Amino acid sequence: MIVVFFALQGAFAIGMTCQNPSYLSERFPTEIRATASGFCYHQGAIFGGLVGPILAYLAASWGTGFAIPMLAGTVFGAVSFILATLLGPETRGKELVPELTVA
């Protein structure tokens, strides 16, 4: 079970890191694009550093080994990625303006 879920997690995790820079560059205006994209991109490194201790804690407290906590983390990550993609603004065909407008 751990081999199958680890292989699934590895197969889909590498594709997500390739899309992050292009996805994030469309979300912010030119004045803050580099800073905001870098900030958001590195939040993944910060939260990713917490995965190991959290998985170890859940494996020990649930008494199931690492397979079930890894499955829960993978499903949570996949669902949050899909929701962020579906609920994000569509920029296809729109001109990305260089000025910052505050709503």
Domain boundaries along the sequence of the chain: 2-84
pLDDT, tens digit (0-9, with 9 covering 90-100), for 53-71: 998 999 999 988 889 999 9
**How many whole angstroms separate alpha carbon 87 and alpha carbon 85?**
6
Asked if 6 and 68 count as a contact pair (C-beta separation under 8 A), the reply is no
Whole-number percent of the chain with pLDDT over 70: 86
Q: Which pLDDT value is given to residue 79?
A: 93
Nearest of 48, 42, 53 to residue 9 by alpha carbon: 48
- CA 55 to mean position of chain CA atoms: 17
Please state the rounded mean pLDDT for residues 75-92: 84
